[in-house]
Structure 1
Amino acid sequence: MKAIPTNKRKYFLLLAAFTLMTFTIYGQEDKKEIRSTRDLVTVEETVDRTSVTFPGGSVQVDNFSDTITRITVGQKKFIILDDSKDGTTKIRMVHQPRKDFKGHWAGVDLGLNNFFSQPFDTSLPQDARFMDLNTGKSVAVGLNLFQQSIGLQKNNNTIGLVTGLGLTFNNYRLDSEYIVERDEEGHTSYSITDRDVKKNKLTTSFLTVPLLLEAQIPSGNGSNRLFISGGLYTGFKLRSHTKVVYYDDAGKEKEKSRADLNVNSFKYGATVRVGYRFVKLFATCDLSQMFQKDQGPELYPWSVGLTLINF
């Protein structure tokens, strides 16, 4: 709680006067315009106070003292208190509880990729050794652009379903000099090069749709919540390509190929997310194979990481 000196009170008085004057002049100049926007801005006046409500907040003015006494923006309410004894004005911020359930999926994810050959087995069989990864450089990026939250409680907002739409980019940085390609029979295989390979990677991009069940546990004053969610997701392949960078006596050379490597066009998997305040973690695991059945090694991609930004 912070005390504001007396000379600062003039600022609040001028702000209140300007707000009221703006609505008064606006109404005098064009009454039709007020009727066309009255669903966006409403003014309610009683003997004691005048309230102005607009999308996302409201302002309340005391008619007797001509001062703003309350400002509400989103979930935060600012109460302005005058102290007649020492001539100061105090502002108290009150956090209002959420009215609707809001999940945690929309945002930007950053993580690392790897493979399972069997449930929770990261070792690769002999026929998949050419897909051995440099995990520290195999990056997963999720741009979860749209989110829809559906509350499941009538009198609370801590449990609900979350769905949405996003883009997932997986970079698989191969830790070998084997070049991924299709062999003569159309299977995903590899070729060996005598050149010095500086970078060798396979990249996929998918359109992702999740369906999550999320539970939230309020803490403190209710503004911060511990959340945990889990569920399934589906993905529709947008594209895939390989990129090889050579660096030898012939100089630096890049080769990029968008040839079909039998990467599945549709995938599905399970995911879990947990977080509190600024720390948010996620993990995903494909339950479908990366490559089409019998057209490549049996691998199941998974990733773990952080949510950098929530929308």
Structure 2
Amino acid sequence: MAHINEIKRMRLFLTSLFALFIGISSSTAQVIYKKESKDSLGNTDIVSVGIGKGDSEMDNGEVIVYPRTYGGLTFTRIDWGFSRLMDDGSFTLSDENQFLSYKKASNFGFDIAQFGVRFTDNFKIYLSAGFEWNYWRLKQNVQLLEDVKPLTYAQLDEQAGYEKNILTSTYLRLPLSFELRSRQLQNGKRFKLAFGAMTGVLLKGTQRLKSDKNGKQKFKDGFNLQSFQYGPFLRVGYDNYGLFAKYYMNDMFQDSPQQEGVRNLTFGVTLGF
């Protein structure tokens, strides 16, 4: 129950934070903007949209004066990639953590609000908020027990014919970013580098099972997942496309001594960089 109450307090915190972003959006010019990218054939793709004050090259046809602020609601920095568990620095899980071994693991996330300051044409700092999911397709037929500390699991009936066992963590992500970009190239595009601290507040954990005997089953619980995760991230890219890597420095699970040192590394591609 203590873990559930902690999650509720975190949700109250994130609700207040989201209200702050809404307030920032309301204090800026309420315009809908879109960020576009053109390929070599001249075709245009919309890579991000938003409501508020965008971080554009020009402002009403005039050269932007620095420093300048921007912010509001957005839909950008869409990450899609892979997750890897590290156990005390090794990609090989220890014997006591073999129940967490997985066939596939993926990471997906995006930002929905932002507020930043562009200091020069080449450098800006911004705080954003969004959501992030990790999906672990577990190899073994195990079920994580609800409302139990430390993390505990039960072995499932092998005769039930389980074909799916997916553990999902859902976080509110709150990254603080420092972004550098090159001067505009002849084609109007730039190289970009962003780095900073990625934090996350746990919203929920979910385990989905599917078997011949029991059909589809869904269980929601904190599963001792870390209520607040943090770590560095890095993005490198060209124009509005890039690669990302994130490493969470605290353990994936809390109040679970056997899982101390089990941490999450994610990497993949970014759209709307």
**1:238 match:** 203
2:36 aligns with none
The code of the aligned residue for 2:194 comes to S
Deviation at 1:231, TM superposition (A): 1.0
SS at structure 2 position matched to 1:128: helix
The answer to whether structure 1 residue 129 and structure 2 residue 95 are counterparts is no
Q: CA deviation at 1:179?
A: 2.4
Once residues 256 and 141 of structure 2 are traced to their aligned partners in structure 1, the CA distance between those partners, rounded to angstroms, is: 24
Whose Rg is larger? Answer: 1
**CA separation of 1:277 and 1:98: change in aligned 2, threshold 3 A:** farther
Q: Which residue of 2 aligns with 1:161?
A: 125
Q: 1:301 and 1:115 mapped to 2: Cα distance?
A: 5
Match of 2:171 among 184, 203, 206: 206
The alpha carbon displacement at 1:97 in A equals 6.9
Could you tell me which residue of structure 1 aligns to residue 115 of structure 2? 148
Contact kept, 8 Å, 2:151 with 2:256, in 1: the verdict is no
Rounded to whole Å, the distance in 2 between the matches of 1:242 and 1:302 is 20
**Aligned residue pair count:** 213
1:160 Cα deviation after fit: 1.9
The one-letter code sitting in structure 2 at the alignment partner of 1:106 is: T
Partner residue of 1:297 out of 241, 259, 263: 259
Counterparts of 1:243 and 1:267, CA distance in 2:
23
Q: What TM-score do you get using the length of structure 1 for normalisation?
A: 0.60
Q: How is 1:75-94 mapped onto 2 (pairs within 5 angstroms)?
A: none
Question: Could you say which structure has the greater relative contact order, defined with CA pairs below 8 angstroms and 6 or more residues apart?
Answer: 2
Query: Which residue of the partner structure matches residue 42 of structure 2?
Result: none
Distance between the aligned counterparts of 2:232 and 2:75, measured in 1? 14
Cα separation, 1, equivalents of 2:243 and 2:121: 22
1:139 aligns with 2:106: yes
Shift of 1:296: 4.9
TM-score, normalised on structure 2?
0.68
Q: Deviation of residue 105 (structure 1)?
A: 9.4
Query: Percent identical across equivalent pairs?
Result: 22
- After superposition, the C-alpha distances for 1:71-127 in whole angstroms (9 at most, x for unaligned) are xxx758xxxxxxxxxxxxxxxxxx9876567899933211111111123x2111111
Q: Unaligned 5+ residue runs, structure 2?
A: 1-28, 34-55
Q: What is the root-mean-square deviation of aligned Cα atoms in Å?
A: 3.2
The residue that corresponds to 1:19 in the other structure is none
Shift of 1:203: 0.7
- Residue type at the aligned position of 1:246: S
Alignment of 1:239-254 (within 5 A): 239-247=204-212, 250=213, 253-254=215-216
C-alpha separation in 2, matches of 1:306 and 1:97: 32
2: distance between equivalents of 1:75 and 1:165? 23
Counterpart residue identity of residue 134, structure 1: K
- 8 Å Cα contact 1:269/1:285 also seen in 2: yes
Deviations 1:167-201 (A, max 9, x none): 11111111222222259x73213222222211111
8 A contact 1:109–1:309 mirrored in 2: no
Looking at structure 1, the residues matched to 63 and 267 of structure 2 have their Cα atoms a distance apart, in angstroms, of 32
